[in-house]
Amino acid sequence: MSTAASDKATPEKLTPVYGPTSEQPPLFDGTTRLYTAYICPYAQRVWITRNFKGLQNEIKLVPLNLQDRPAWYKEKVYPPNKVPALEHNGKITGESLDLVKYLDANFEGPSITPDDPAKKQFADELLSYSDTFVGSVFSSFKGDVANEVGEFCSASIWYRSYILLNIKNLLVGL
Ligand SMILES: N[C@@H](CCC(=O)N[C@@H](CS)C(=O)NCC(=O)O)C(=O)O
């Protein structure tokens, strides 16, 4: 495991944010990069997974200014223009839940997935429920609170169960 991973007391030194005038890091030069935004909950999932597995030295962060993204991101890196996206082995892939699973399956470090098949199934269900939860939170911030309350509460119950069960501390840091 890397030094950064074993020294959990030392906060990660955050890479400065890339804006419209920032030069593009070299693409496909063998470096694994996580294109991210510090404020994005989807990207934070992948960031947490990376850090939980101790991959701070193996996976470099490229944090973007979401409000003012560099043009090269959409044009040359990831045409959907969303974060997160991972540059690995000559490919760019996106979608946070897929990336969480990809990091777990393809990189060293402690697994975020329980070994027990029943717990694993439960963890997978909870993980796949994350988007509903985040969507509900965002919708309730945007306006029609009344229609979102039921779903938000049920999502909260799921999430609290998740945290209480402490499945491999997946959400530590949220
Ligand atoms: N389904 C995607 C959602 C990612 C997403 O919507 N990210 C937002 C930031 S939180 C984004 O990049 N928005 C930019 C845009 O839509 O133009 C995932 O789970 O990775």
Q: How many CB atoms lie within 10 A of CB 143?
A: 9
d(CA 48, CA 21): 28
* Tens-place pLDDT, residues 22-69: 999 999 999 999 999 999 999 999 999 999 999 999 999 999 999 999
State residue 169 phi and psi, 5-degree precision: 55, 30
pLDDT at 159: 57
Which residues have C-beta within 8 Å of that of residue 10, sequence separation ≥ 6? 4
Nearest to 19 by CA among 54, 71, 56, 61: 71
Among positive and negative, which fits the CA dihedral 136, 142, 144, 149? positive
Q: How far is CA 106 from CA 51, 100, 102, 116, 170, in A?
A: 14, 10, 6, 20, 17
pLDDT band at 153 (very low <50, low <70, confident <90, very high): low
The number of residues making up the chain comes to 174
Percentage of residues of the chain with pLDDT beyond 90: 60
Whether 84 is in the pocket of ligand 1, judged by its Cβ within 6 Å, is yes
| DSSP per residue, 55-124 | -TTTEEEEEB-GGG--HHIIIII-TT--S-EEEETTEEEE-HHHHHHHHHHHS-S--SS-SSHHHHHHHH
Q: What is the pLDDT of residues 7-23, one digit of tens each?
A: 667 788 999 999 999 99
Query: Which of 3.40.190.10, 3.40.30.10, 3.40.50.800, 3.10.50.40 would CATH assign to domain 3-106?
Result: 3.40.30.10
Higher pLDDT, 131 or 122: 122
Task: Count CA atoms closer than 13 A to 108's CA, side-chain side.
Answer: 5
> What per-residue confidence (pLDDT) applies to 132?
83
Task: Spell out the domain ranges in the chain.
Answer: 3-106, 117-169
Read off the pTM: 0.80
- Give yes or no for residue 63 CB within 6 A of ligand 1: no
The residue whose CA is least distant from atom 11 of ligand 1 is 82
pLDDT of residue 142: 76
Nearest CA residue ID for atom 14, ligand 1: 82
Q: Is the CB of 46 under 6 A from ligand 1?
A: no
Dig out the tokens for 86 from the structure.
């991972």
